[in-house]
């Protein structure tokens, strides 16, 4: 009996779960028309605040004010991907979903290890519906190559990498995946959805279907979101993961604070405050972020990042942007905060420059968003102010005049980070059912 090297790799990679997955580092050559911006190097957190103030000011368009022109960015970068397929394939015409994460996450957003993978999107798509998936770490994030956070890590360059990976799957040239796929669907979350949308604009035949999650074209609330993030330099916010400081140095610096929670609790004993309550409080502050990475972890260490890599302040900012109170496990917020990933100046400056129309895309489109999404709906996606408009994302149907089908699906009791809420699997099933109805299921 003959076993291909590809099959052997999958057997080794996954002997327990139903899905078979393989982590691959793919050299990807990109070429993109990026913006050239006149933004001084950020020296500290105060500069990050100044940048956010300029970006959100109503006095003018700061992005246009800072834009000097355009330049072609070209080069080869390593993109980290995870390819998964069912352990038993049904039929001869598989469908692959390309999964692109949003700001603050890496590709594990789609296969979240929290609570023994009970929140895994990939488990549902692969194990229950038979799809293949390719989840990617965007350029500059996770285990993918790091690059200049102002001049390189921008929406056009990241979309170029997404396109090249798509063509590899289409042509059967993705390393260690000797399969040419005739059915390719792009599924993105937030900024990843914007990149998938940009792909449909610039390469309308590259994708057979779009699912844009945590997305709408209403930008009214983005300034409030940026303000809430209260951005800090990532290297200062979580120095053990994103800076150039060692665990030993942090431990030494914090040694005077040993038994801090017990000492505070002792002082507050007359008020019945326990050390556990003190610890939970500290975890929601900058101190919780300072300690992130102190314990052993499997997370990528994006060490010594340039100052143009930013992140939000703490768990409070995280909750405001991504979570709906009472509809998520409190432990998952701490998990998300300690394992968050940064965003770049270039991304913030270019997300608003994506065109409003995808006039030539002819495949089906689903926009799936939590009803209480704060980023794109201000907290209620049904509050349109127009009786004729069912939801805020429903208005995006005008952006796809040639689409075969358009659906705006509102997931109840969910905010921006759809995959981290109690009812996430309801959204996962809605996506698979949509793709199946549109003839994009594996066959």
For every residue of 191-234, DSSP letters joined together read: HHHHHHHHHHHH-TTS-SEEEEES--S--TTHHHHHHHH--EEH
Supply the pLDDT for residue 258: 55
Q: Return all residues near 347 (Cβ < 8 A) that are at least 6 apart.
A: 103, 153, 154, 155, 158, 191
pTM > 0.85 = yes
- φ, ψ at 80 (rounded to 5°): -85, 125
| Low-confidence spans in the chain with pLDDT less than 70 | 1-17, 246-298
User: How many CA atoms lie within 13 Å of 117's alpha carbon, on the beta-carbon side?
Assistant: 12
Q: How far apart are CA 136 and CA 141, in angstroms?
A: 9
Supply the pLDDT for residue 291: 61
Supply the pLDDT for residue 57: 94
Q: Would the CA dihedral through 324, 325, 329, 334 be positive or negative? A: positive
Supply the pLDDT for residue 131: 97
> What residue spans of 255-369 are helical by DSSP H?
260-267, 275-283, 286-291, 315-322, 330-338, 345-350
Supply the pLDDT for residue 89: 73
């Amino acid at each position: 009996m003959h076993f291909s090297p590809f099959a052997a790799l999958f057997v080794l990679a996954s002997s327990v779960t139903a899905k078979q997955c393989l982590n691959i580092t793919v050299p990807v050559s990109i070429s993109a028309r990026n913006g050239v911006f006149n933004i001084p190097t950020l020296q500290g957190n105060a500069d990050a605040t100044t940048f956010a103030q300029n970006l959100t000011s109503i006095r003018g368009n700061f992005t246009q004010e800072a834009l000097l022109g355009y330049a072609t960015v070209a080069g080869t970068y390593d993109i980290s991907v995870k390819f998964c397929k069912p352990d038993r394939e049904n039929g001869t015409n598989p469908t692959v979903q390309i999964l692109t994460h949003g700001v603050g996450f890496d590709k594990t957003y789609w296969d979240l290890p929290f609570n023994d993978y009970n929140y895994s999107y990939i488990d549902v798509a692969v194990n229950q519906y038979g799809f293949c998936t390719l989840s990617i770490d965007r350029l500059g994030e996770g285990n993918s190559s790091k690059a200049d956070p102002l001049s390189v890590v921008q929406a056009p360059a990241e979309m170029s990498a997404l396109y090249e990976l798509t063509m590899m799957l289409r042509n059967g040239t993705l390393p260690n995946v000797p399969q040419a796929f005739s059915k390719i669907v792009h599924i993105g979350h937030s900024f990843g959805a914007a990149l998938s949308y940009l792909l449909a604009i610039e390469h309308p035949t590259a994708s057979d279907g779009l699912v844009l999650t945590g997305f709408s074209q209403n930008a009214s609330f983005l300034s409030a979101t940026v303000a809430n993030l209260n951005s800090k330099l990532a290297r200062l916010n979580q120095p053990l993961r994103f800076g150039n400081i060692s665990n030993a140095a942090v431990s030494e610096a914090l040694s005077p604070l040993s038994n801090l929670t017990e000492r505070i609790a002792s002082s507050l004993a007359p008020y019945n405050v326990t050390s556990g309550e003190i610890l939970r409080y500290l975890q929601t502050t900058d101190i919780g972020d300072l300690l992130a990475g102190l314990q052993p972890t499997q997370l990528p260490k994006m060490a010594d990042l340039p100052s143009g890599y930013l992140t939000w302040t703490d768990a409070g900012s995280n909750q405001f942007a991504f979570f709906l109170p009472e509809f998520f496990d409190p432990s998952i917020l701490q998990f998300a905060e300690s394992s968050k990933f940064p965003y770049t100046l270039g991304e913030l400056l270019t997300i608003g420059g994506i065109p409003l129309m995808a006039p030539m895309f002819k495949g089906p489109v689903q926009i799936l968003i939590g009803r209480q999404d704060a980023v794109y709906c201000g907290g209620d996606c049904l509050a349109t102010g127009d009786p004729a408009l069912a939801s805020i994302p429903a208005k995006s149907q005008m952006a796809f005049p040639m689409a075969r089908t358009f659906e705006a699906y509102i997931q109840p009791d969910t905010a921006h980070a759809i995959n981290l809420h109690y009812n996430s699997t309801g959204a996962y099933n809605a996506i698979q059912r949509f793709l199946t109805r549109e003839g994009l299921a594996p066959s």
